[in-house]
Amino acid sequence: MHTALLHSLWHYRGFVLGSVQREFQTRYRNSLLGALWTIINPLAMIIVYTVIFSRLMQARLPGVYNDLAYGIYLCAGLLTWGLFAEIIGRSQSVFLEHATLLNKLSFPRICLPLVVVLNALLNFAIIFCLFLGFLLVTGNFPGWVVIAILPVLLIQIVFAVGLGIILGVLNVFFRDVGQMTGIVLQFWFWFTPIIYPPSILPESAAALLKWNPMVPLIQSYQGIFVQGAWPQWSALWPMTLISVLLCLFALSLFRKRSGEMVDEL
């Protein structure tokens, strides 16, 4: 049943890629520096996290004796969380944003979340390449172990897409979902050791972390970039399963409700 979906996506690949390109171009159209801004913005962010936090505030990670370690720890978590949050945040409103299009034209609707995901990936790719470049320049590049981020990213994207589509569909019927998503993401962010190391948490709170599916993912990134360590694959299996199931559920929910969705928009 999913082959028909893939087939229609393939047929509309021109539209999907065109939309991604268009959205990317729209952002910097009519600005003097144009595409340069795609680099300046993330670069500024990386500098703030690494230089300001690590150097000026002298924030140190316990057990790691490197000036930049905390900055790298921050970036590893923040950049990947940023991708997750962007996919979720944009997917939950994607159907509402394109209400007129959905109402007036007949086209494979699954294109819309796909455009969101590809756009988020494009932004992420830019900032992540800059981050890797920064690591190379400062001599902190972890080496081959970097490859390990690919499977972890894949799991994270599948998870985010599944969750995003579910929220997107629900948001059409219950607008509360959109409001809720922002709040939940805030709590979720602070409940994941991104800004802080997990060791600073009290026992009781640390025990709760194992219920947070984002923790093994984020810790894998942090491990790769700060310690140059390979991820603990065994810890990622449950998350893989959750992601795949979530994604399948999202597709079936989407399929079941997409007709009704148009009536509601």
> Are 265 and 96 spatial neighbours (Cβ–Cβ below 8 Å)?
yes
- Smallest distance from the beta carbon of 185 to another protein, in angstroms? 22
Decide whether 4 or 150 has the Cβ nearer to another protein: 4
Site size toward another protein, by CB under 8 A: 25
Residues 141-180 touching another protein, rule: CB under 8 A, are 173-174
Decide whether 101 or 244 has the Cβ nearer to another protein: 101
Alpha-carbon distance of 192 to 231, in angstroms, equals 17
Asked whether position 222 contacts another protein by CB under 8 A, the answer is no
Q: Which stretch binds another protein (CB under 8 A): 79-87, 135-143, 198-206, 255-263?
A: 255-263
Asked whether position 4 contacts another protein by CB under 8 A, the answer is no
- Smallest distance from the beta carbon of 13 to another protein, in angstroms? 9
Distances (CA, A) of 42 to 75, 106, 209, 258: 11, 37, 29, 36
Decide whether 79 or 177 has the Cβ nearer to another protein: 177
Residues 108-147 touching another protein, rule: CB under 8 A, are none
Alpha-carbon distance of 237 to 192, in angstroms, equals 19
- Smallest distance from the beta carbon of 262 to another protein, in angstroms? 5
- Smallest distance from the beta carbon of 22 to another protein, in angstroms? 6
Please give the single-letter amino acid code of residue 36. Answer: L
Asked whether position 104 contacts another protein by CB under 8 A, the answer is yes
- Contact pattern from residue 12 through residue 41 relative to another protein, giving x for each residue in contact according to CB under 8 A and a dash for the rest: x-xx--xx--x--xx--xx-----------
Cβ-based neighbours of 158, under 8 Å, separated by 6 or more: 243, 244, 246, 247
**Which two structure tokens, joined as six digits, stand for 204?**
């009781």
Alpha-carbon distance of 50 to 41, in angstroms, equals 15
Among 35, 55, 97, 103, binds another protein (CB under 8 A): 103
Alpha-carbon distance of 169 to 23, in angstroms, equals 22
**Which two structure tokens, joined as six digits, stand for 172?**
């059409």
Decide whether 7 or 60 has the Cβ nearer to another protein: 7
- Smallest distance from the beta carbon of 246 to another protein, in angstroms? 18
The torsion of the CA quartet 62, 67, 70, 73, rounded to 10 degrees, works out to -110
- Nearest by Cα to 231 from 244, 213, 218, 214: 218
**Which two structure tokens, joined as six digits, stand for 144?**
């081959």
Residues that bind another protein (CB under 8 A): 11-12, 14-15, 18-19, 22, 25-26, 29-30, 100-107, 173-174, 259-260, 262-263
